[in-house]
Amino acid sequence: MKTASAPNGLDLNARSAYIRGEATLAVVSIGSFDEVAANLEAAIEGSGLEIVHVHEVDRLLEQRGRSPGFRCRTYEVWSAALASDLLEYDADLGHVLPCRITLHDQGGVTTVVAPLPRQVMAEFSHATQVGRISRRLEEKLQPLMRALC
């Protein structure tokens, strides 16, 4: 198998790599932005989550005279059932909804990144019930991200 090397020095032995960090889930791919976006949208659809809104971040910046020089899109996703459970428990946690997944292409590499719900929600509540809800959401996000590889 031929090893691909991205301009930033990252060696990609496969078309995509799944990375679980301390606070994020990420997939790094040599696929094109449009290809990874289509795969991401299909994975979201099959995950039990739904897309609430899509922000074309690069276009928004360009409209304000600031071009990032690469494409960047943020998907707001959620599970209505999990959102309802969270808000029923603590309506003050509505600001952590919906979850965001960002897609960008930079330096010949396309990356998809999502914060771990347990990390985000733990910043605002240490309640056991909130932890359970965030783990259920994470259980939907992890296979979704792995499906991109």
Report pLDDT for 12.
Answer: 46
Domain boundaries, the chain: 4-146
pTM of the predicted model, to two decimals? Answer: 0.86
* CA pair distance 97, 74, nearest whole angstrom: 14
Q: What class is the 4-146 domain?
A: alpha beta
Decide if 111 contacts 70 (C-beta within 8 A): no
pLDDT classification of 16: cutoffs 50, 70, 90? confident
pLDDT in tens, 83-93: 999 999 999 99
Cα dihedral 30, 102, 141, 92 in deg (nearest 10): 170
